[in-house]
Amino acid sequence: MIQRVTVENYALIRHLDITLGSGLNIITGETGAGKSILLGALGLILGNRADSAALADNVSNCVVEAEFDLSGYGLEGFFAEQELEYDSPCVVRRVITPAGKSRAYVNDLPVQLTTLKELGLRLVDIHSQHRSLLVASEEFRREVVDNFSSSHAVLSRYAEAYAHLQSAERQLAKTREEAERNSADEEWVRYQWEQLTSLALREGELTELEQRQSELANSEEIGERIGGALDALGAEERGVLAMLKASEQSMRHLARVWSGGEEVAERLHSVQVELKDIEATLSEALDRVDSDPTALAAVDDRLAAIYSLLRKHKVESVEELLAIQAEYGRRMELITDLDGVIARLEQEVVEARKVAQNVADELTALRQRGAEELSSGVTEMLGRLGMNGARFICRVTPDTLRESGADIIEFVFSSSPTGTLQPIEKIASGGEISRVMLCLKAIAARCAKLPTIIFDEIDTGVSGRVADEMGEVITELSTSMQVLNITHLPQVASKGNDHFVVYKEVTTIGAESCIRRLTTEERVEEIAKMLSGATVTDAAREQARQLLG
């Protein structure tokens, strides 16, 4: 929940610092005082976009900061996934510079705006007047039903199955298009494939051939130098090995009178062992020295053929040529076995569609059960809100597979028991839609653990007993989550645990929006003003006290 909000240099707000309660926070004020500006500032810390036009002056930064209590809301996983430090309270800060640059921070760590928006969706739900139009959005209706149906695990499985189906369909379409091109280019494809396969290329061959070419081209020098080294090692009297052998024997003889003689003799012996091993290696190498001009010509010819293909296909390795060869092989298979390839891909599509349809059916069943409970819950609550006999039905109708499932979800409504059910956005009044939205929010709160919900004049278009009942519903909602409610209705305002008033002050530098928490007596005066208008009467004050209980 939101514990504290501070705002600097945003629109008409020069400075604001408020501490909110955990229950129902009421916000009132005259039209134009700046209540919508406060919502705009809150929107910034929830990831909404902004520019320098939102600044109160064009010299200082706009800074909006909010402190959230996250305990008990299970957000540790989200913070770990985003590589953010989890802490409660969590401090979210947004800075807008006069140049329009935006920076966002979570617990003093810089974050992208998308991350801030994702976090905001988990912290606060803002319901403003225009959001009542969301009932016309199928995405909104689907989200309501899925949240109420607890179908997210099945929805995740469906998304995976549908993605696999789309991939299979794309591969089939791509293959059919490619088959048409290959048919026209059959002779050219066949030539490329045969040219590559005729060389019988193998991985690592180019390095081996280049090394072999170097050995063959320089065989005379290699033979002479290896032979010279062998002569130096193995000459019978003056060779290195003979001299080392004599030195070893001399040291062993000397060991009778010098304590270091035996150690030196052993070391000389070790050197001889190593040199004999080198001698054997050089002898084997000399045996392999090949000065055959025919072999060199064969290597040169093969290298020339490989280099030619490398240049032709604009690659640098035999491995890349083998990949190109495999691609031409696949295209040749399409040419020679087109019907078989297409049939296999079509079968993959059929199987993928079957899997997706099975999961979609499971999702539909969950949604239909949830929709039935949602319909009865909203209809019952509408009765409390002065709409006895009104009917609200959430229809879930299976249709074709698409990204979000196979269902068309409709909210249909009739204000009377015998009226024709029609899409709610087409026939319901603004006040009726507001009441439906409140019911949806209240019922959804039973299964969705959201820390805070903000209502911006959701009670527009109602009055009297209905307004009082809406206040009761909002009060009930505030027992399980923090609620901020902007209202013009005294019946609703009187229900709050905490009451704030937004007002405008005119100073030497211009108009300024301010907000403050009301005392008990100030609440009486504010609600009396809402009841009677600018001139507050004693009767209005008495009625306000009665509303406040």
Q: In what order do the strands lie in the sheet with 498-507?
A: 124-127, 452-456, 482-486, 24-28, 498-507, 510-517
β-sheet with 391-402: strand ranges across: 391-402, 405-414, 422-423
pLDDT of residue 457: 84
Strand partners, 108: none
Spatial CB neighbours of 201, under 8 Å, sequence gap ≥ 6: 306, 318, 321, 322, 325
pLDDT at 54 over 80: no
Percent of the chain with pLDDT over 70: 96
Q: Which of 107-121, 149-163, 430-444, 485-499 has the lowest average pLDDT?
A: 430-444
- What distances in angstroms separate CA 491 from CA 209, 316, 516, 531, one per listed residue? 92, 80, 20, 9
Give the list of residues 6+ apart from residue 246 with CB closer than 8 angstroms, or none. none
Whether 151 has a pLDDT exceeding 90, the answer reads no
Residue 122 has pLDDT above 60, yes or no: yes
Q: Give the span between the Cα atoms of 247 and 63, in whole angstroms.
A: 88
Going by pLDDT thresholds of 50, 70 and 90, the confidence category of residue 59 is confident
Please check the confidence at residue 236 and state whether its pLDDT lies above 70: no
Query: In the chain, where are the structural domains located?
Result: 1-128+447-518, 186-338
| Residue 344, phi then psi, degrees to nearest 5 | -65, -45
pLDDT in tens, 322-343: 999 998 888 887 777 767 878 8
- Using the CB atoms, write b or e for 323-334: b if 16+ within 10 Å: ebbeebeebbeb
Residue 336's identity, in one-letter code, is T
What's the rounded mean pLDDT across residues 236-255? 84
Of 444, 404, 371, the C-alpha closest to 154 is: 404
Between 466 and 131, where is the model more confident? 466
The candidate with the shortest Cα–Cα distance to 462, out of 548, 533, 386, 389, is: 386
CB 397 within 8 A of CB 145: no
- Which superfamily, per CATH, for 1-128+447-518? P-loop containing nucleotide triphosphate hydrolases (3.40.50.300)
Q: Tell me: pLDDT of 448 over 70.
A: no
Q: Which amino acid, one-letter code, is at 407?
A: D
pLDDT averaged over every residue in the chain: 87
Q: In this model, does residue 362 exceed pLDDT 90?
A: yes
Average confidence (pLDDT) over 269-282: 89
- pLDDT tens sequence across 370-380: 999 999 999 99
pLDDT tens for each residue of 469-520: 989 999 998 988 899 999 999 999 999 999 999 998 888 778 888 999 999 9
Distance of alpha carbon 408 from alpha carbon 424, whole angstroms: 15
Alpha-carbon 164 to chain mean position: 19
Residue 53 confidence (pLDDT): 67
User: Of 126, 124, 16, which is closest to residue 64 (Cα–Cα)?
Assistant: 16
Model confidence at 132, pLDDT cuts 50, 70, 90, reads: low
Task: Give me the pLDDT at residue 157, please.
Answer: 95
Q: In this predicted model, what pLDDT tens digit does every residue of 172-227 receive, in sequence order?
A: 998 888 777 766 677 788 888 889 999 999 998 998 888 888 777 777 777 778 88
Spatial separation of the C-alpha atoms in residues 387 and 47, rounded to whole Å: 37
Q: Calculate what percentage of the chain has a pLDDT beyond 90.
A: 41
Q: What angle do CA 491, 493, 497 make, to 5 degrees?
A: 125
Calpha distance 317→307 (Å, rounded): 9
Q: What are the structure tokens assigned to 306, written together?
A: 């490989």
User: What is the reported pLDDT for 361?
Assistant: 96
pLDDT above 80 (res 100): yes
Cα–Cα distance, 204 to 210 (Å, whole number): 11
How far, CA to CA in Å, does 477 sit from each of 27, 123, 135?
Answer: 16, 16, 21
Cα Rg of the chain, angstroms: 41
3-state SS, residue 321: helix
Categorize the per-residue pLDDT at 65 as very low, low, confident or very high, splitting at 50, 70 and 90.
Answer: very high
Residue 382 above 80 pLDDT? yes
Helix 205-217 × helix 293-313 angle, to 10°? 140
- The region that residue 34 occupies, defined by phi over 0 for left and psi between -120 and 50 for alpha, beta otherwise, is left
pTM greater than 0.85? no
